[in-house]
Amino acid sequence: MNLPELYQEIILEHAKRPMNRGVLENATVTVPAENPTCGDEVTLQLRVADDKIEDVRFTGQGCAICMASASMMTRAVKGKPCAEAGALFRQVHDSVHGKGEMPKGEIAAIGGVREFPQRVKCAMLAWRAFEQALQGAPSQTGITVTTETPAPNAQI
Amino acid sequence: MQALRPLGAEIRNEFPILEQQVKGKALVYLDNAATTQKPRRVIEALSQYYERDNSNVHRGLHELSNRATARYEGARERVARYIGAASGETIVFTRGTTEGINLVANSWGARNIGPGDAILLTEMEHHSNIVPWQLLAQRTGARIVWAPVTGDEGLLDMDAVRALLAQKPKLFGFVHVSNSLGTINPAAELCALARRHGVATLVDGAQSAGHMPLDVQALGCDFLALSGHKMCGPTGIGALYGRADLLEGMPPWQGGGEMIARVNFESSTYKPAPYRFEAGTPDIAGAIGLGEAADYVDELGRTRICEHDFELAQAAYERLAAIPGMRLLGPRENRASLVAFALDGVHAHDVVSLADEEGVALRGGHHCTQPLMRKLGLVGSARASFYFYNTPAEVDRLVETVGQIERFFRR
C-alpha cells in the first residue's frame, strides 16, 4: 500500500463529512484527547445508560485520518452494549499495532495505518478517548488522553 | 579574492545528502528552517578533527591538546567575526539557541529579574523563547507581557511595542525571523527603542543567522542566540553572544570542570566569561564545525544567500496563492526564506505526508509556536523553507505537488 491508498474514498468521505460531530446534550462522560505534537484534538462525549452507549458525539479537529477514524468509531459504537464496544476497541487497537484482523465493515479502512507507524497515533486518538470514557472518566473533567509517547502532558 | 560561486543548482554537489532519491523521486529538501544540510567541507572539518587533533581542551600540555585548544578557540573567534562581535570573549558556546536562551534566563535573569518585574516577549516567539521565561517567572514571581502580532500578515504591532517598552520591563526577548510566519522583525529599531527605556534585549537569531548579514554591534542587542545546525553547521552546537560587561556580571549557571578558577571544599571561584558558562568538556568538534560553517556561509555571501532565498520564497508564495482554498501566512513582501500555508479543510499533516510521497520534504504542525497558531485560528500549517542550494525547479515541484494534493482532497 502506498500512502495515497491509505486515503481511500471512505476515509476522505468521513474526514470531509464526519458523522456524530457536535456537542452531546446530557452526556454522562466527556473525555478530551489531544496529540500535542501534531495539534490533533478530539473531545468525545458519551451518554451511557444501563451499560449501553445510547449516544456518542465528538468535537475537535485533526488530520483526515484522525477525523475519519473518530467518525467511524462513533458510528460503530453507537447503540452497542459497553462490553461489546470495549471488545471492538481492543480489536482495532491490536490490529493497528499488527496483531490480528480489523473488524469487518468500513472500519477496516483504518487498518491501513499499520504500514505508516507515524499515523497510528492519528487513527487511535478518538479510540483512546473512547477507551478512557468506557472506564468512566468523570463527566466534564476527564483527564486529557493522548496517543503519543512518552506522555507529554506535563503542565508548564 | 576568489570568484563568487553560483548558488542554487551549481552548489548542490557540495552537499552529499542532496544527491539522493526519496520514494523513487529526486529529494526536494524544503525543511531548512528546521535544519539545514551540511556541506562536505563542514563534514570533513569534523572528521579531520577526530582523525588528527582529538584531545581535551584548555588543560593538556601535549601537542594534541594544544591543537584542539587552538582550533576550539579559533572557532570562537570565527563565530565572533561572523556576527560582528568585537571579540571571542563575548561568545559562549552552547548546545543551540534554546540553551543560549536558558542560559540568559537562568544566569542574567536570576540576578536581574525579581517579583513583579515584567519580561516582554512577542506573540510570535518559538517555544524556546517562551518556556525558559515561564520557568523563571514561576521561580521569581515575575510576569510575562506579550507584544501583539497584528493583521493578516503577522507583523509586530510597533505602537504596542513602544507603549509596552515605556512601562520598563526588565527584558525584551524577540525572534529576529519568525519560523512560522517568515516575518523579519526590525531588530535594530527594536533594540534602539528598548535601550531608550533601559530594557535589556535578547534576539533569537536561530532563523536569521544562516540567512542574512548579522552584526550584533549594529543591531545594538545585549544578547543574541543562534544554532549551528540552521547555518550549515553540526547539530548540538550553538553560540550565545552577550555584551561583555553583562556577561562579566553574570553568575555561573552550571558548575563543573573548565569553568572554575579555584575549587576548595568550602567554595569555589570562577573563570571570567565566556569560560564561566562552559562547564565540562565542551563539544569541541561541534564548535570547530560551527566555525567552519560560519566561514563557508560567509564566503558564499549572506547578502546573496538572502536574495537567492527570497526569490524562491516569493515565487513559491505567489504561485501557491493561485491554488484554490489556499491561505498563506506571514507578510506578502519583505519575507524571509520560507512560506507557511494552510489549505482550507486539509490538515497540515495530510499535506506533509502526501508531499513526502513525492519526495518533497516539508514541515507541518504548529512549528513550536502554539500560542501564535491559536491566535491565527489554525491548528497548524505546512511550511516550505528554502536555502541557497534550492532551485527554481524545486519551487516548480513544490507548487505542482501542493496542487495535486489540493485536487486529491477536492475530488
Its pTM stands at 0.91
- DSSP label at residue B90: G
| Sheet with B363-365, edge to edge strand ranges | B326-328, B338-343, B381-385, B363-365
Given an 8 Å threshold on Cβ–Cβ distance, is B366 in contact with A39? yes
Do residues B181 and B271 share a domain?
Answer: yes
Q: Is A61 helix (H, G, I), strand (E, B) or coil?
A: strand
How high is the pLDDT of residue A153? 41
Average pLDDT over residues B36-62: 95
Residue range B77-98: mean pLDDT, rounded = 98
Read off the pLDDT band of A138 (50, 70, 90): low
Q: Is the pLDDT of residue B294 over 60?
A: yes
Predicted local distance difference test score (pLDDT) of residue A52: 95
The tens digit of pLDDT for each residue in B212-233 reads 999 999 999 999 999 999 999 9
| B334 CB neighbour count, 10 Å cutoff | 14
Over residues B138-160, mean pLDDT: 94
In terms of Cβ atoms closer than 10 Å to its own Cβ (0-12, 13-18, 19+), residue A3 is: middle
Asked if the C-beta of A7 comes within 8 angstroms of chain B's C-beta atoms, the answer is: yes
Three-state DSSP at B363 gives strand
pLDDT for residue B152 is more than 80: no
Q: Is A155 exposed, middle or buried (0-12, 13-18, 19+ CB in 10 A)?
A: exposed
Joined together, the cell numbers standing for residue B131 give 518556556
Same domain as B320, residue B246: no
Question: Is residue B224 a part of any domain in this protein?
Answer: yes
For range B234-242, the mean pLDDT: 98
Q: Is the pLDDT of residue B401 over 60?
A: yes
Do B332 and B347 lie in a common domain? Answer: yes
Position B217 in a domain:
yes
Q: According to the model, what pLDDT value does residue B334 have?
A: 87
The answer to the question of residue B188 being in a domain is: yes
The pLDDT of residue A118: 83
Higher pLDDT, A1 or B39: B39
* Same-domain status, B60 and B164: yes
CB contact under 8 A, A40 and B350: no
Indicate which of B379, B401, B407, B411 best probes the interface with A, i.e. most A CBs within 10 Å of its own CB.
Answer: B379
Chain B residue closest in CA terms to A13: B409
Mean pLDDT computed over A52-75: 95
Q: Any idea which of B32-36, B137-141, B212-216, B364-368 has the lowest mean pLDDT?
A: B364-368
Backbone angles phi, psi at A57, to 5 degrees: -145, 160
Which of B282, B299, B316 terminates a domain? The answer is B299
Regarding whether B286 and B159 lie in a shared domain, the answer is: yes
Task: Give the residue from B273, B299, B325 where a domain finishes.
Answer: B299
Confidence of residue A137 (pLDDT cuts 50, 70, 90): low
Structural domains of chain A, with CATH: 3-134 (3.90.1010.10)
Are residues B127 and B199 both part of a single domain? yes
Nearest residue on chain A to B349, judged by CA atoms? A63
Last residue within a domain, chosen from B278, B299, B320: B299
Residue A149 has pLDDT above 70, yes or no: no
Are B266 and B373 part of one and the same domain?
Answer: no
A154 touching B, CB under 8 A? no
- Together in a domain, B16 and B60: no
The residues facing B144 across adjacent strands are B119
Å between B276 CA and nearest CA of chain A = 29
A152 — pLDDT class (breaks 50, 70, 90): very low
Answer yes or no: do B101 and B127 share one domain: yes
Residue B89 confidence class, pLDDT cut points 50, 70, 90: very high
- The per-residue pLDDT for A154 is 38
Instruction: Give the position of cell 468506557.
Output: A134
Q: Are residues B350 and B394 in the same domain?
A: yes
pLDDT for A122 = 92
Q: How confident is the model over B182-223, as pLDDT tens digits?
A: 999 999 999 999 999 999 999 999 999 999 999 999 999 999
Let me know: does A97 contact A44? Beta carbons within 8 Å: no
Mean pLDDT of B98-106: 98
Q: What is the pLDDT of residue A91?
A: 96
Residues of A whose CB is below 8 A from B350: 7, 63-65
Q: Please check whether residue B237 is in contact with residue B290, taking contact to mean a CB–CB distance below 8 angstroms.
A: yes
Q: Mean pLDDT in chain B?
A: 95
pLDDT-wise least confident of A139-143, B159-163, B385-389: A139-143
> Does residue B36 form part of some domain?
no
Supply the CATH number for residue B378's domain. 3.90.1150.10
B354 and A119 in contact by Cβ < 8 A?
no
Question: In the prediction, which pLDDT does B1 show?
Answer: 52
| DSSP E strands, B152-242 | 155-156, 171-175, 200-204, 223-227, 238-242
Q: Is residue B35 part of a domain?
A: no
Res. A155: pLDDT tops 70: no
Contacts of A142 (CB under 8 A, 6+ apart): A29, A30, A31, A32, A132, A133
Confidence of residue A151 (pLDDT cuts 50, 70, 90): very low
pLDDT of residue B365: 82
Cis peptide before A18, with omega less than 30 degrees from 0? no
Give the residue numbers spanning the domain of B351.
8-30+301-410
Tell me: the pLDDT tens digits for B296-339?
Answer: 999 999 999 999 999 999 999 999 999 999 999 999 988 999 99
Q: Which residues, other chains included, contact B266 with Cβ-Cβ below 8 Å and sequence gap of 6+?
A: none
Is B371 contained in some domain? yes
* Percent of chain B surpassing pLDDT 90: 87
Return d(Cα B286, Cα B238) in angstroms, integer.
9
Helix (H, G, I), strand (E, B) or coil at A94: helix
Judged by average pLDDT, the poorest of A40-49, B28-37, B87-96 is A40-49
**A143 pLDDT above the threshold of 80:** no
Amino acid at B261: A
Is the domain of B81 the same as that of B171? yes
Give the contacts of A38 (CB within 8 A, at least 6 positions apart): A62, A63, A121, A122, B349, B364, B365, B380
Report if residue B52 sits inside a domain. yes
Contacts of B163 (CB under 8 A, 6+ apart): none
Tell me how many domains chain B contains. 2
Same domain, residue pair B334 and B275: no
CATH number for position B202:
3.40.640.10
**Nearest residue to B287 via CA among B233, B353, B366, B341:** B233
Residue B108, by phi and psi: left (phi above 0), alpha (psi -120 to 50) or beta?
Answer: alpha
Interface ipTM? 0.80
- Any alpha helices (H) in A1-42, and if so which ranges? 3-6, 9-16
Phi first, then psi: what are they for B288, rounded to 5°? -65, -40
Shortest distance, CA B135 to any CA of chain A (angstroms): 8
Q: Would you say residue A100 has pLDDT above 60?
A: yes
Per-residue pLDDT reduced to its tens digit, B117-135? 999 999 999 999 999 999 9
Q: Smallest Cβ distance to A3: which of B131, B347, B353?
A: B353
Which of B134, B357, B364 has the CB atom closest to A4's CB atom? B357
Q: Is B357 on the interface with A (CB under 8 A)?
A: yes
Name the residue of chain A whose CA is nearest to B351's CA: A63
B380 touching A (Cβ < 8 Å): yes
Give the model confidence (pLDDT) of A32-63 as tens digits: 999 877 778 999 999 999 999 999 999 998 99
